[in-house]
Amino acid sequence: MYRNFAIVPRIIFGRGSLNQLGDVLKEKRVTDGGYMVFVIDDVFTDKPLEGRLPMEGKDLLLRVNVADEPKTTYIDALVAQIRAYSDVTPDGIIGLGGGSTLDIAKAVSLMLNNPGSSADYQGWDIIQNRAVYHVAVPTIAGTGAEISRTAILTGPDKKLGINSDYTLFDQIMLDPDLLAGVPKEQWFYTGMDCYIHDVESLNGTFINQFSKSYGEKSIDLCREVFLGENDSAQGDKLMMASYFGGMSIAYSQVGACHALSYGLSYVLGTHHGIGCCITFDYLDEIYPAGVKEFRQMMDKHEISLPRNLTKGMDDASLDLMVTTALNLVPLWENCLGSDWKNIMTRERTLELFKRM
Amino acid sequence: MYRNFAIVPRIIFGRGSLNQLGDVLKEKRVTDGGYMVFVIDDVFTDKPLEGRLPMEGKDLLLRVNVADEPKTTYIDALVAQIRAYSDVTPDGIIGLGGGSTLDIAKAVSLMLNNPGSSADYQGWDIIQNRAVYHVAVPTIAGTGAEISRTAILTGPDKKLGINSDYTLFDQIMLDPDLLAGVPKEQWFYTGMDCYIHDVESLNGTFINQFSKSYGEKSIDLCREVFLGENDSAQGDKLMMASYFGGMSIAYSQVGACHALSYGLSYVLGTHHGIGCCITFDYLDEIYPAGVKEFRQMMDKHEISLPRNLTKGMDDASLDLMVTTALNLVPLWENCLGSDWKNIMTRERTLELFKRM
């Protein structure tokens, strides 16, 4: 059985395409007295981007803070805030930001049409009702959140996405101009999220020619961006690398690095991009060629990673880290095959975390 | 203004995935007393593929003949045949075959929901109502018909597609096993349709990083298939090359070769794949590197093209050929820029046709 793979059905790509957002939303403003909700990373508070949003009438600007990765409690609070703002369900949710902001936009658009807490839906295909129309406008590239069928959340007892076809955005707007101004470290860590997706997908057991074609082109684009000469198309390339990387894993899976980094994030709150980089640097045995190339990229861009994150950590916390990582069964199956439990034992996982 | 590019929202990729067609259709059988129409190339008459179709109840098997490229009169007759079969509009149309069969499936699914003749809709965005749910199951790879927003038809006064977002399939099923048994010449000519799409897209003035990423990977896959060693993944690669080639031109455009080959097809009925090959072989001046590589592919596979197609043709027919080709304004703009009329004059076009 092959997955009947759902894809975001509408894309606008191009520099300055943000200027078309108003036109795109116009035909989605269907409810009398309705409104749109712009979910925007609060780093843009009072910045020019906010002034460019095509807000009308009762539209709501919802600044979100992603200093911490999105929590289910935060999603529930944002949904409550929208419901308190109006009895009417909004005509659309527009997410503007990086992976965390886009995941918030996805989760909010799902929860407006589904009862209970977002924590109830962490897992695969639990969501019952389709989401409110939702649009992604990435302002940083690499996560693949614009194309993935998951909204990754930290819940009361796990870090796990709301994975469903309904999670997918209805529209993506890829405007490479929006990448200008991203700080170098964040640019690098987020770009590496994409590079690592590609390595995990291409070296996984789930790979097929569909995922391979996307993954190979994505990793080529990453190499052009992170190892090639600086050229004016860098932003365009990184946006396409991110999209292709997302397309590659959507039909296959990520692997060991993402699984372990989830453990790190869940216990320590480490951000996803940097968490992946920290983890990947210890995975020579699993991804030898990928890790070697990753270190070349770090050298070229003079990136130094934090060390000794787990030093002095108590056993219970380390144990929780291991459990969180090993709970991500599909990721390990993709990475190591059906016999993964005998290869990535709790002991080996613990030893890896202790080195980080 | 960038195009808000619509993409087929559902894909199944994998060998043997045809076995899942019944499951895919199940949830689309929504009308009481409704039915599905399987539009299948009549080369499969009484062949195993017909026996594998998940037909139920009142489902209709519609064998189509594509010895000639699809005509608007043929579409209108097929639509009349379905309407005569039942007062109820079918729940879905499933096209199984090559580019011509898929284009028939697209056009029929559009015309079941739109009044008049299919000839009324040749052009861009003339169609008013969405199509009946329609599925593509390609049995030959290269045309990109599975992903394109056009259904190319020969009408009373032109060869031109019904171009619209509604033309797009709702579902693609890419089963590389179905490519087994395609005759070598047809395999080559149809594959070259894809290769030529890539050359035209990558060398066009409309190119952006989105189309470039797809086009570059598609042409790499074509090189692996047509210049590399024979390997077991050839079919998988050609299916992905076709899909990526289609994605590349969907955001940009094809160019000189397609425009000229339309003239050839319109007047002489030359099939699209072979018509593109015949034409491309005379386009050294416009696509020097592409034509050179194309000839290497021909040599490797011992393909010899028909010659002297236009020999002895009367002036009126040649004139119609020129007019048909030059009417395809977006293709020429993509190929040669806004000044194209001064570069590709009627005289130069005529001279090119006379050499074919």
CATH number at residue A314: 1.20.1090.10
What is the pLDDT of chain B when averaged over all its residues?
Answer: 96
Task: Give residue A126's pLDDT.
Answer: 97
Q: Does A67 touch chain B (CB under 8 A)?
A: no
ipTM score of complex:
0.95
> Which amino acid is located at B185 in the chain?
E
Q: Does A326 touch chain B (CB under 8 A)?
A: no
Pull the structure tokens for residue B174. 């890419």
B34: burial class by Cβ within 10 Å (0-12, 13-18, 19+)? middle
Q: Which residue among A12, A210, A236 places its CB closest to the CB of B240?
A: A210
**Which residues on B lie below 8 Å from A9 (Cβ)?**
6-9
What is d(CA A114, CA B347) in angstroms, rounded to the nearest whole number?
A: 65
Give the closest residue to A176 by CA, choosing from A242, A230, A223.
A242
Q: Does B69 touch chain A (CB under 8 A)?
A: no
Write the CB contacts of B218 (distance below 8 Å, at least 6 apart in sequence): B194, B197, B198, B240, B241, B242, B244, B245, B247, B248
Task: Give residue A250's pLDDT.
Answer: 79
**Strands A60-64 and A134-138, sheet pairing:** unpaired
Q: For residues B75 and B45, is the Cβ–Cβ distance under 8 A?
A: no
Inter-chain contact B11–A221, Cβ cutoff 8 Å? no
- Straight-line distance from the first to the last Cα atom of chain B, in angstroms, rounded to the nearest whole number: 38
Sort residue A350 into left (φ over 0), alpha (ψ -120 to 50) or beta. Answer: alpha
Same domain, B152 and B217: no
Inter-chain contact A208–B13, Cβ cutoff 8 Å? yes
Same domain, B243 and B224: yes
What is d(CA B272, CA B143) in angstroms, rounded to the nearest whole number?
A: 9
**Strands A10-13 and B5-6, sheet pairing:** antiparallel
Q: What is the pLDDT of residues B286-317, one digit of tens each?
A: 999 999 999 999 999 999 999 999 999 999 99
Rounded to an integer, the average pLDDT of B131-148 is 96
Same domain, A155 and A189: no
Pull the structure tokens for residue B228. 């590399």
**Which residues on B lie below 8 Å from A10 (Cβ)?**
4-7
> Which amino acid is located at A9 in the chain?
P
Same domain, B242 and B316: yes
Same domain, A158 and A307: no
> Which amino acid is located at B212 in the chain?
K
CATH number at residue B48: 3.40.50.1970
Which of the four pLDDT bands, split at 50, 70 and 90, describes residue B4? very high
**Which residues on A lie below 8 Å from B20 (Cβ)?**
1-2, 4
**Which residues on B lie below 8 Å from A174 (Cβ)?**
210
Inter-chain contact A209–B176, Cβ cutoff 8 Å? yes
Q: Does B2 touch chain A (CB under 8 A)?
A: yes
Same domain, A263 and A294: yes
Q: Is the pLDDT of residue B195 over 90?
A: yes
Same domain, A80 and A175: yes
Task: Give residue A159's pLDDT.
Answer: 84
Task: Give residue B231's pLDDT.
Answer: 86
Task: Give residue A94's pLDDT.
Answer: 98
Instruction: Identify whether A335 is part of a domain.
Output: yes
Task: Give residue A279's pLDDT.
Answer: 97
- Please give the full DSSP string across B20-53, using - where no structure is assigned: GHHHHHHTT--STT--EEEEEEGGGTTSHHHHTS
Strands (E), B139-244: 150-154, 159-163, 171-174
Q: Which residue among B5, B13, B221 places its CB closest to the CB of A11?
A: B5
Single residue among A179, A199, A220 that ends a domain in this structure: A179
Instruction: Identify whether B305 is part of a domain.
Output: yes
pTM over the 0.90 mark? yes
Task: Give residue B250's pLDDT.
Answer: 80
**Lowest mean pLDDT segment, chosen from A153-157, B21-25, B235-239:** A153-157
Inter-chain contact A9–B12, Cβ cutoff 8 Å? no
Instruction: Identify whether B1 is part of a domain.
Output: no
Inter-chain contact B12–A2, Cβ cutoff 8 Å? yes
Instruction: Identify whether B106 is part of a domain.
Output: yes
Same domain, B119 and B216: no
Q: For residues B222 and B210, is the Cβ–Cβ distance under 8 A?
A: no
Rounded to an integer, the average pLDDT of B264-269 is 92
Strands (E), B143-225: 150-154, 159-163, 171-174
Q: Which residue among A5, A176, A217 places its CB closest to the CB of B217?
A: A217
Same domain, A86 and A199: no
Q: What is the pLDDT of residues B314-335, one digit of tens each?
A: 999 999 999 999 999 999 999 9
Q: Is the pLDDT of residue B251 over 90?
A: no
Q: Is the pLDDT of residue B9 over 90?
A: yes
Q: What is the pLDDT of residues B69-83, one digit of tens each?
A: 899 999 999 999 999
Task: Give residue A242's pLDDT.
Answer: 98
**What is the domain range of residue B53?**
10-179
- Straight-line distance from the first to the last Cα atom of chain A, in angstroms, rounded to the nearest whole number: 38
- Please give the full DSSP string across A201-234, using - where no structure is assigned: HHTSTT--HHHHHHHHHHHHHHHHHHHS---TTH
Count the domains in chain A: 2
What is d(CA A238, CA A260) in angstroms, rounded to the nearest whole number?
A: 25
**Which residues on A lie below 8 Å from B8 (Cβ)?**
7, 9
Q: For residues A82 and A60, is the Cβ–Cβ distance under 8 A?
A: yes
| Chain B nearest CA to A212, separation (Å) | 10
Q: For residues A222 and A296, is the Cβ–Cβ distance under 8 A?
A: no
What is d(CA A21, CA A29) in angstroms, rounded to the nearest whole number?
A: 12
Single residue among A179, A205, A238 that ends a domain in this structure: A179
Inter-chain contact A9–B7, Cβ cutoff 8 Å? yes
| Chain B nearest CA to A157, separation (Å) | 33
Single residue among B129, B152, B179 that ends a domain in this structure: B179
Same domain, A209 and A99: no
Same domain, A168 and A280: no
Mean pLDDT by 10 residues, chain A (356 residues): 94 97 97 96 97 97 95 98 97 97 98 98 95 98 95 90 96 97 95 97 96 98 95 94 94 94 93 96 97 98 95 95 95 97 97 96
Inter-chain contact A210–B176, Cβ cutoff 8 Å? no
Task: Give residue A314's pLDDT.
Answer: 96
The residue of chain A with its CA nearest to that of B168 is A9
Interface of A with B in 225-254 (CB under 8 A): 233, 236-237, 239-240, 244, 251
Inter-chain contact B24–A10, Cβ cutoff 8 Å? no
Instruction: Identify whether A3 is part of a domain.
Output: no
Instruction: Identify whether A215 is part of a domain.
Output: yes
Q: Tell me how long chain A is.
A: 356
Same domain, B241 and B312: yes
Phi, psi dihedrals of residue B93, rounded to the nearest 5°: -120, 130
Inter-chain contact B13–A240, Cβ cutoff 8 Å? no
Which strand ranges, in their side-by-side order, compose the sheet holding B92-97?
A5-6, B10-13, B171-174, B134-138, B92-97, B36-41, B60-64
